[in-house]
Amino acid sequence: MPDKIEYENVSKIKDCYGCGVCVISCPKKIVEIKFNTKGFLEPTIIDQTKCIECGLCLNNCAYNHDQRAAQNAPLCAYAAWSNNERIRFKSSSGGICFELCKFYINQGFKICGVKYEPEDNIVSHVICSTIEELNQIFGSKYVQSNTIKGFEQFNNKDKFVVIGTPCQIDSVRRYIKKRKIEENFVLIDFFCHGVPSMKLWNKFSASQRNKIGNFNSVTWRNKVDGWHKSYRLDIIADSGEYHHTGLKFDDFFNLYFSNAALSPACFDKCKYKQDQSSADIRIGDMWGADYSKNKEGVNSVICFTEKGNKAVKEIDCTIKRHTFEEVLSGQMNFLPIRDNFFYRLNPLIIADSENWNEITTRFRKMFLKKRIMRKVKSIIKIFSKK
């Protein structure tokens, strides 16, 4: 048999960021993105024989480059929040992303952000053209987004604000630079912990459907008990029944923050911590001592370009200047750690045979065991000093 031909395209890349920019880069339209066996989005080539090896999919791929797309501008760091109390309460943090989107829509821009789609139980990037449409992309989503529906609408005529993970935004920056349309785009990313396997979300949502039936709305964070206690999922069933996960022990978020379900790319290839960004603006939660008593929500904001800094100063918000170090103090500034204690759960999360109850039962036992071990170690340490 003849040797297998290796084409110069994204078929050679595995366990990537799943940003989807390769799909919109391909002039022959032969790249698509699908969930792999681990539950992460990954590109595949529909028909290798149609590949002309132009290299555009690889050139625009942030995963394929060791360095991010360069930004040359001084940093400006702020704490900020919307002056509209309703917007601030409804937002995951301080409402700055909504205020930026509203500002740019009034300037004639279209907004490319993430929407939960209940019919497919996924989150997707979509395009919003009016302030009313912004409601569908309101709030953070802690699931990997399929970008294609939104990204494929980019063109040379319209102006766009694109909101995404740092790796998605890095690839978009490469794409718009290559097409010489950077001036028509404003790019916003956020402090990112990483993306979990879609299998984690599918198993969690299946467990919720068993309790309350099908649902049409999910809010990943809710401030009814304050901003610092906002990591709780609120779900509205088709029947109208309202359900929220436990405040003291939310299994989905505890598994997410344990890193047991994160993408391999988040562990091995993330190059976007601290000030490493290809965006105009980076947003997040302004955790830290200065706002530890705040209940309404405060955004951390870093402007990497003059374009971004100018917009932040013009929107309807309160901003307070901070040092870059102060903004970073409440963020995860290094790669996520593969905690082998919890990472043993990863095969269970990926396995189709394991359900949510089995995973969470195992996780709770491990969580308790680790707390006991930590307590014992601290006691031993105290007595060893005497």
- The span from the CA of 198 to the CA of 142, in Å, is 10
Is the distance from CB of 227 to CB of 287 less than 8 angstroms? Answer: no
- The span from the CA of 263 to the CA of 247, in Å, is 26
Amino acid at 87: I
**Which stretch of DSSP H or E encloses residue 207?**
helix 198-212
Q: Does domain 10-64 have CATH number 3.20.20.120?
A: no
Buried b (16+ CB within 10 A) or exposed e, 344-383: ebbebbbeeebebeebbeebeebbeeeeeeeeeeeeeeee
- The span from the CA of 310 to the CA of 319, in Å, is 12
pLDDT in tens, 76-111: 999 999 999 999 999 999 999 999 999 999 999 999
Buried b (16+ CB within 10 A) or exposed e, 235-245: bbbeeeeeeeb
The structure's pTM equals: 0.94
**Which stretch of DSSP H or E encloses residue 234?**
strand 231-237
What does the chain come to in residues?
386
Is the distance from CB of 171 to CB of 19 less than 8 angstroms? Answer: yes
Q: How many Å separate Cα 214 from the centre of its chain?
A: 25
pLDDT in tens, 254-289: 999 999 999 999 998 999 999 899 999 999 999 988
User: Where in the chain are all domains bearing CATH 3.30.70.20?
Assistant: 10-64
- The span from the CA of 239 to the CA of 145, in Å, is 27
What sign does the dihedral 170-171-174-180 (CA atoms) show? Answer: negative
Q: From first to last of its 386 residues, what are the pLDDT tens digits of the chain?
A: 445 556 789 998 999 999 999 999 999 999 999 999 999 999 999 999 999 999 999 999 999 998 876 666 678 999 999 999 999 999 999 999 999 999 999 999 999 999 999 999 999 999 999 999 999 999 999 999 999 999 999 999 999 999 999 999 999 999 999 999 999 999 999 999 999 999 999 999 999 999 999 999 999 999 999 999 999 999 999 998 888 886 556 899 999 999 999 999 999 899 999 989 999 999 999 998 899 999 999 999 999 999 999 999 999 999 999 999 999 998 988 888 888 888 889 999 999 999 999 999 999 999 898 888 888 878 887 777 66
Whose CA is closest to 217, among 118, 105, 69, 103? 118
